[in-house]
Amino acid sequence: MALCWSLDKVGPICRSVEDTAIVLAAINGGDINDRGSIDAPFQFDADAGVEGMVLGYLPEAFDEGATEVDHAALAAAKDLGITVKPVTLEDLPYGSLMTVVYAEAAAAFEALTLENTDDTLRWQDDGAWPNTFRKARFISAVDLVQTDRLRYRVMQALDEMMSGVDALIGPFMTGSMLVASNFTGHPCLHLRAGFEDVATRTPASLGAGKLTTGDAEGDAKFNVPQGISLWGQLFDEGPLLTLGMALEQKLGVADRRPTFPS
């Protein structure tokens, strides 16, 4: 479904990095019916090596919130024989960019709000989308202009950070890159980097998305995949896939499967 017209994008979800490249090659291309579509070429050589590549990372992204899997992925990247170096990203209020998402989502679902049918949506609490739609109607024109100005500064900041590297590695949910790159268009490859034990009181809670870590008596144990992210230069997914394939092989995760209690 549409949520944010200027940011929504299509990307393949596959079992391996190479499979991702195959599907991306098939779906890549411009769409004359989509004003946000750009007919940019896709180039990838499965036999290309990583020699000579430079990989950056934001040290703060590997601090609080980073997992053992994240740190192991960074260590594995350093063992690939490439240059891995710390980089810096300008300190900006990246979270404020979400104003665009809230405004466009409210516009996309405006009929629900105006017809008072947003209260029929299943998720209803303080942070649910119905309240987001309602609050977005109080976003001013000045707010959107200032957010657009911030977005341009973020583009410049990421361009400067990426100028000396072929790609950036980092945890998906720590640091600023998840939000920032969605507003700049830098491609991202998220791949399996390892597995973590996750426990839940009852298997039925899986359906509600209520997984908790822990070793309490009676917990059901699940060994689930955890990922690491690679971000690349604009319209240049090839090096991301090359690095991703090498990292996937180094970590030995391509043929592993999650385990579930019987």
Examine residue 3 and state whether it is found in any structural domain, yes or no. Answer: no
**Start-to-end CA span in the chain (Å):** 35
For residue 161, the number of C-alpha atoms closer than 13 Å in the C-beta half-sphere is: 28
State which residues form the domain around 157: 88-163
List strands edge to edge, sheet with 83-86: 83-86, 54-57, 167-170, 220-232, 188-200
Examine residue 35 and state whether it is found in any structural domain, yes or no. Answer: no
167: helix, coil or strand?
strand
Q: How confident is the model at residue 219 (pLDDT cuts 50, 70, 90)?
A: low
For residue 32 the two structure tokens come to: 């004359």
152-181 pLDDT, tens digit per residue, is: 999 999 999 999 999 999 998 888 999 999
pLDDT at position 16 over 60: yes
State how far the Cα of 144 lies from the Cα of 106, in Å rounded to an integer.
14
Whether residues 97 and 223 share a domain: the answer is no
Last residue of a domain, one of 163, 186, 213: 163
Examine residue 221 and state whether it is found in any structural domain, yes or no. Answer: yes
Q: Which helix (H) or strand (E) holds 225?
A: strand 220-232
Examine residue 100 and state whether it is found in any structural domain, yes or no. Answer: yes
For residue 32, the number of C-alpha atoms closer than 13 Å in the C-beta half-sphere is: 0
Last residue of a domain, one of 163, 185, 211: 163
Examine residue 214 and state whether it is found in any structural domain, yes or no. Answer: yes
State how far the Cα of 119 lies from the Cα of 236, in Å rounded to an integer.
43
Give yes or no for a contact between 87 and 165, defined as CB atoms under 8 angstroms apart: yes
Examine residue 42 and state whether it is found in any structural domain, yes or no. Answer: no
Quote the Cα angle for 167-101-180, to 5°. 20
Q: Looking at residue 208, what is its pLDDT? A: 46
Whether residues 228 and 206 share a domain: the answer is yes
Whether residues 180 and 78 share a domain: the answer is yes
Last residue of a domain, one of 104, 134, 163: 163
Q: Looking at residue 261, what is its pLDDT? A: 60
pLDDT at position 42 over 60: yes
54: helix, coil or strand?
strand
196: helix, coil or strand?
strand
Q: How confident is the model at residue 206 (pLDDT cuts 50, 70, 90)?
A: very low
Q: Looking at residue 204, what is its pLDDT? A: 46
Whether residues 118 and 218 share a domain: the answer is no
Q: Looking at residue 132, what is its pLDDT? A: 86
Whether residues 98 and 149 share a domain: the answer is yes
Give yes or no for a contact between 200 and 211, defined as CB atoms under 8 angstroms apart: yes
Q: How confident is the model at residue 213 (pLDDT cuts 50, 70, 90)?
A: low
State how far the Cα of 160 lies from the Cα of 168, in Å rounded to an integer.
13
Q: How confident is the model at residue 142 (pLDDT cuts 50, 70, 90)?
A: very high
Percentage with pLDDT > 70 across the chain: 88
User: How many domains are contained in the chain?
Assistant: 2
For residue 46 the two structure tokens come to: 């499965």
State how far the Cα of 21 lies from the Cα of 248, in Å rounded to an integer.
14
Please give the average per-residue pLDDT across 132-156, as a whole number: 94
Q: Which helix (H) or strand (E) holds 23?
A: helix 17-27
Give yes or no for a contact between 193 and 70, defined as CB atoms under 8 angstroms apart: yes
